[in-house]
Structure 1
Amino acid sequence: RVLVAVGRRPSSRGIGLENTQVQLDPRGFVVADAQQRTADPAIFAIGDVAGEPMLAHKASHEAKVAVEVILGKPAEFRPQAIPAVVFTDPELAWAGLTEGQAKRDNIPYEAAIYPWGASGRAQALGRVEGLTKWLIDPESQRVLGCGICGVGAGELIAEAVLAIEMGCEVRDLTDSIHAHPTLSETLMNAGEVYFGTATEIYKPRRS
């Protein structure tokens, strides 16, 4: 089977927005600020119509921000990482900086990759066709992004989102004890790969 995806565009035209102060960008997305306010003080925008990424969980968090602001409470939508999942088999999941973005924007990074063939849990499941990858700032050793391919990747990416949001360094991951044998260990073990201390695979130790 072949899946052809031609993309999506916002349904922002023909709904009367021309009778408001709401502004659209050249692609038809509603322009909204970090509090989800539009140029019309009576209208807020959330979800797909407010711009990419067009994901349900991003929309729900934008909705929370909008409601808080409407109630007069301080709130802004400024995430450091929004997880994305492709529900194929195996699953693909990523959050934060990607290698493509880093190369495009000339952001220095180092990649640490842990192949699931070295994971005891993946072997027990018979699902070794996967990997876990961290993108790391070489100067501060903060984690900038994460990519996971494998069964349950959509569940595992949550830890990566938390790590990126909290500004964790690689050492924070390797010092956090993960249950064994689990797939979540691959996040810790990818950090060990960075330091050259992963016991399951060989990589020279960092000096």
Structure 2
Amino acid sequence: MDITRFGHSALLVESGPHRVLIDPGTFSRDEAFSLTGLDAIVVTHQHPDHVDPARIERLLAANPDARLLAEPQTVAALGGLGVWQPLAANVTVELGPSLTLTGIGFEHAVIHPDIPRIGNVGVLVEAEDTRLFHPGDSYESVPRAVDVLAVPLSAPWAKVSETVDFVRAVAPRVVFPIHDGTISDLGYPIYWGRVAEMGGAEEALLLGPDATATV
């Protein structure tokens, strides 16, 4: 399984002939919206840093055969921008004989009690005996036997102790950061250093915003 980051929470996951793009949002690099040959595009929730309405049409036009999967509330929010199918919790979508996507969880993390919560569905990608978990914006759900965790590193709803505890609960072999578009270069080690030192993963992979790794 090859993973390429396109900034913030956008990931391209490749396994054999299959290509899946997750969360192409406003903080994502423009190259994410020029990708072709995608089997699926997945959106975990409706916040613009996870789906960019201004650029998504270009991506959809370049991938007319891709399955469009999104958290159920997000399907309604994206009305008119392609034909999206709901990816709900515990629903599995088979893209090929050796690649499946499964929805995990229900709600976005609490930003503030005065702000209504929206839907959020993480995605578990299973391919080549490797299980990759992208949780969207939530630490609430902990699927079993995760090999690779894309951990949200900084957000209005998160703090470092919660991030470390989430990594420990998931107990992946490999952890790498996502949702880091709000962190300055100077402040980055404050967040990533704690996860790398305290999370307990065998490998803490600092995968940059335009880097690819094989896991």
**TM > 0.5 between the two?**
no
> Which structure has the larger Rg?
1
Which TM bucket (shorter chain)?
under 0.3
Structure with greater strand percent: 2
Provide TM-score, normalisation by structure 2. Answer: 0.24
Structure with greater helix percent: 1
Provide TM-score, normalisation by structure 1. Answer: 0.25
The higher relative CO (CA closer than 8 Å, separation ≥ 6) is in 2
